[in-house]
Amino acid sequence: MIRVHHLENSRSQRVLWLLEELGLPYEVIRYARNPKTMLAPPELRGVHPLGKSPIVEDEGIKLIETGAIVEHLVKKGDGFGPPDDLPGMLLWRQFLHYAEGSLMPPLLALLVVGRLGLLGRPARKPLLGMFAQHLRYLESELQTREWFTGSEITAADVMLSFPLEAATQRGGLDGRYPRLQAWLQRIHARPAYKAALAKGGPYAYA
């Protein structure tokens, strides 16, 4: 049985969603954020020294990093892997890593700046401008296809879900990006996504 150490309002929601899509049996261990600091609780450090979520236990291994977890689950399950054609496969691999490597850092910077209040205001506008480049790029990628790697949903879409959901609250993803908004609506309508929300508990970005 796959065990998921799941923190509310975090990247690990994607892992639950993918498990539901793949139909793999799993157990959820929920963790709540500190209401004052919004940090993960110290109990997660008892599972892994970094104390970050998601952490997946499977086959005697504790695996961290959402991208690595997603690749592992895709190999165990049926579907959501790369398309058969080379361009689709390369897009799949690109977006799998782009979600955390390029898209999340400016979003995290916006979160920190927002918590600084007046001190953070000077940095907010340039950060939003930087993130808008990503949104324009991703909007253009959906101009000719429904999903990010082609006509079928894959794990690349799963990986992109969290940063783009968070972007609707702090990254400027609004009506200027109708394709991205429609993509989010398609995701949120999926039965597996709804089932993952029921199992994962509070999630502020759906």
CATH of the domain at 186: 1.20.1050.10
The sign of the torsion formed by the CA atoms of 3, 57, 159, 102 equals: positive
Residue 205 resides in a domain: no
Same domain, residue pair 53 and 124: no
Same domain, residue pair 37 and 24: yes
pTM: predicted TM-score of the whole model, two decimal places: 0.94
Residue 120 resides in a domain: yes
Structure tokens at 69: 């977890």
Same domain, residue pair 90 and 68: no
Residue 95 resides in a domain: yes
Same domain, residue pair 154 and 126: yes
Same domain, residue pair 136 and 103: yes
Same domain, residue pair 113 and 73: no
Query: Looking at beta carbons, which pairs linking 38-46 to residues 24 or more positions away fall under 8 Å?
Result: 40/7, 40/10, 44/5, 44/7
Q: Is 78 helix (H, G, I), strand (E, B) or coil?
A: coil
Structurally, how many domains does the chain consist of? 2
pLDDT reported for residue 136: 98
Instruction: Compute the distance between CA of residue 135 and CA of residue 184 in angstroms, rounded to an integer.
Output: 13
Query: Which among 203, 157, 155, 204 has a CA at the least distance from the CA of 183?
Result: 157
Same domain, residue pair 51 and 137: no
CB 33 within 8 A of CB 8: yes
Residue 206 resides in a domain: no
Same domain, residue pair 61 and 120: no
Same domain, residue pair 73 and 55: yes
pLDDT reported for residue 121: 82
pLDDT reported for residue 120: 75
Domain span at residue 165 reads 86-190
pLDDT reported for residue 117: 81
Instruction: Compute the distance between CA of residue 116 and CA of residue 150 in angstroms, rounded to an integer.
Output: 40
Same domain, residue pair 114 and 31: no
Could you list the pLDDT tens digit for every one of the 206 residues in the chain? 999 999 999 999 999 999 999 999 999 999 999 998 889 999 999 999 999 999 999 999 999 999 999 999 999 999 999 999 999 999 999 999 999 999 999 999 988 888 878 777 888 888 999 999 999 999 999 999 999 999 999 999 999 999 999 999 999 999 999 999 999 999 999 999 999 999 999 899 98
Residue 21 resides in a domain: yes
